[in-house]
């Protein structure tokens, strides 16, 4: 079997929403500059709101096609990543055996001497995941059965609340209680303020954590995301102020290159630290591990190098008895990883509530939690078939001259 074509599918559709979709954004690294700090609630990704009840959305998917008619699909990805797939990586794939996933990963990585991070690695990840989907279809099996088989049939999910109101404590309490009533026993919320927001912003951050603990009670896990937008002194002060509310972890406290900052914070607080979703490959994760900078490693299966690479990252992490919980870009890919891992090393899977509405919109078989639990899918591959009923139109990718 040989790869005949790497097809990029650019699809368009509309997501029905119950009111404004992106209610509030999270703190961001650019917030150190005042002109960026007060930009409103719409997140900068995820389509455009054409009304308060719908979200116009488009996405690119990688479809690998073979001479035997077997295909594999990966995605969604954005236009910049699709450009790299078409113009830089496809040449390594045509005419080659799609089942040779280790070989194909290695030649794409070795051939991308200026692309071992960022969008090139995201493009390699999308191709790698499409190849795993293809491999599952070829062997007529779920992908998790090809990478060691299941250690369990279901994984607890934590509701990741990106895009929800975080400044109105009444709404924070209301939404947190809704997710608890849906069966989630863990939730992750996102701070809106960073060091440059001053004392008032700091108090609002603490108020959010206090509200969550008072709403959810003592037993549920609360995770808190700083989205690489803080610094050592601020996080240590914040950790001291919220430690009484027993967070499960503090996430991405600084930008991923500031590994020394993570180490200093970890040494100064009893709250576990998580991160590295914006870092790449086993070599990048090894930097955090060697410096004892994190308690929970969070590579993204669609960013860090694909399923092939995240399996290596997780194996490395277990030798240090660290937890690996991939960032939740793709529930379809994530569940195949999660159910093959030891429960003590992968106790949760992230479910980004709003992002999964977007990322799974065009899929025929989206994977969603039931009573706070994600079950291992029974379909073949990664269940990545697109749903024609959700595709309002499809266009040939146009990257310009």
Summarize pLDDT for 53-70 with one digit per residue, the tens.
888 999 999 999 999 999
Residue range 117-138, pLDDT digits in tens? 999 999 999 999 999 999 999 9
pLDDT in tens, 233-261: 999 999 999 999 999 999 999 999 999 99
Structure-model confidence comparison of residues 218 and 22, the more confident one: 218
374: helix, strand or coil: strand
pLDDT of residue 40: 62
Please check the confidence at residue 43 and state whether its pLDDT lies above 90.
Answer: no
Q: Interhelix angle for 118-138 vs 101-111, to 10°?
A: 170
- Which option is the CATH number for 145-375: 3.10.20.90, 3.50.50.60, 3.20.20.120, 3.40.50.300? 3.20.20.120
Q: How confident is the model at residue 46 (pLDDT cuts 50, 70, 90)?
A: very low
Q: What is residue 41's predicted lDDT score, i.e. its pLDDT? A: 53
pLDDT of residue 401: 56
Long-range CB contacts (within 8 A, 24+) of 336-339? 336/132, 336/142, 336/143, 336/144, 336/147, 336/307, 336/377, 336/382, 337/144, 337/147, 337/301, 337/307, 337/310, 337/311, 338/155, 338/374, 339/144, 339/150, 339/151, 339/152, 339/153, 339/154, 339/155, 339/376
pLDDT in tens, 198-220: 999 999 999 999 999 999 999 99
- Whether the per-residue pLDDT at 37 is higher than 90: the answer is no
Q: Is the pLDDT of residue 285 over 70?
A: yes
C-alpha to C-alpha distance for 40 and 37, rounded to whole angstroms? 9
Domain ranges within the chain, ordered by starting residue: 145-375
Instruction: Quote the percentage of the chain above a pLDDT of 90.
Output: 91
Q: Residues of the chain with pLDDT > 70: what percent?
A: 97
Among 132, 59, 62, smallest CA distance to 335 is for 132
Active site residue 336: no
For tokens 């690119």, the residue is: 60
358 touches 11 (CB < 8 A)? no
pLDDT attached to residue 18: 86
Distance from C-alpha of 15 to C-alpha of 287, rounded to nearest angstrom: 40
Average pLDDT of every residue of the chain = 95
Shortest CA distance to 234 belongs to which of 248, 254, 251? 254
Write out pLDDT tens, residues 75-120: 999 999 999 999 999 999 999 999 999 999 999 999 999 999 999 9
DSSP 47: -
Q: Which residues contact 198 (CB under 8 A, 6 or more apart)?
A: none
Lowest mean pLDDT among 16-25, 86-95, 107-116, 303-312: 16-25
pTM recorded for the entire structure: 0.96
Q: What pLDDT score was predicted for residue 53?
A: 82
Q: How confident is the model at residue 51 (pLDDT cuts 50, 70, 90)?
A: low
Structure token digits, residue 23:
């209610």
Q: What is the pLDDT of residue 38?
A: 77
Cβ partners under 8 Å of residue 213, min gap 6: 222, 245, 246
The pLDDT tens digits for 320-355 are 999 999 999 899 999 999 999 999 999 999 999 999
Q: What is the pLDDT of residue 19?
A: 83
Catalytic residue among 278, 279, 327, 359: 327
Segments in 319-383 forming alpha helices (H): 331-338, 353-359
The confidence score (pLDDT) of residue 52 equals 67
The pLDDT assigned to 20 comes to 84
């Amino acid at each position: 079997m040989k790869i005949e074509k790497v097809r990029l599918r650019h699809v368009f559709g509309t997501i029905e929403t119950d009111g404004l979709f992106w209610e509030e954004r999270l703190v961001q690294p650019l917030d150190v500059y005042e002109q960026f700090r007060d930009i409103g609630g719409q997140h900068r990704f995820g389509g455009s709101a054409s009304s308060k009840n719908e979200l116009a959305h488009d996405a690119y998917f990688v479809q690998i096609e073979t001479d035997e008619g077997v295909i594999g699909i990966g995605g969604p990805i954005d236009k910049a990543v699709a450009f790299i797939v078409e113009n830089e990586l496809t040449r390594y794939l045509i005419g080659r055996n799609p089942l040779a996933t280790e070989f194909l990963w290695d030649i794409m990585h070795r051939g991308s001497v200026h692309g071992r991070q960022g969008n090139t690695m995201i493009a390699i990840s999308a191709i790698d995941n499409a190849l795993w989907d293809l491999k599952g279809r070829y062997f007529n099996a779920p992908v998790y059965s090809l990478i060691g088989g299941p250690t369990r049939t279901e994984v607890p999910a934590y509701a990741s609340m990106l895009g929800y109101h975080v400044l109105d404590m009444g709404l924070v309490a209301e939404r947190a209680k809704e997710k608890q009533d849906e069966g989630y026993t863990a939730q992750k919320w996102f701070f809106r303020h960073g060091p440059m927001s001053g004392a008032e912003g700091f108090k609002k951050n603490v108020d959010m954590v206090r509200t969550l603990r008072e709403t959810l009670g003592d037993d549920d896990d609360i995770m808190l995301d700083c989205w690489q937008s803080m610094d050592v002194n601020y996080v240590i002060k914040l950790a001291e102020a919220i430690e009484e509310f027993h967070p499960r972890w503090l996430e991405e406290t600084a930008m991923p290159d500031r590994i020394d900052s993570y180490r200093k914070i970890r040494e100064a607080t009893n709250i576990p630290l998580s991160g590295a979703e914006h870092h790449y490959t086993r070599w990048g994760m090894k930097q955090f591990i060697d410096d004892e900078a994190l308690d929970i490693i969070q590579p993204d299966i669609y960013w860090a190098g694909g399923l092939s690479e995240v399996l290596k990252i997780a194996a490395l992490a277990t030798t240090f008895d660290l937890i690996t919980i991939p960032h939740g870009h793709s529930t379809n890919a994530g569940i195949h990883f999660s159910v093959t891992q030891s429960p003590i090393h992968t106790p949760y899977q992230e479910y980004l509530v709003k992002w999964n509405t977007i990322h799974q919109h065009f899929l025929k078989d989206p994977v969603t939690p039931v009573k706070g639990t994600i079950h291992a899918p029974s379909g073949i591959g990664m269940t990545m078939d697109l749903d024609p009923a959700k595709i309002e139109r499809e266009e040939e990718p146009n990257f310009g001259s």
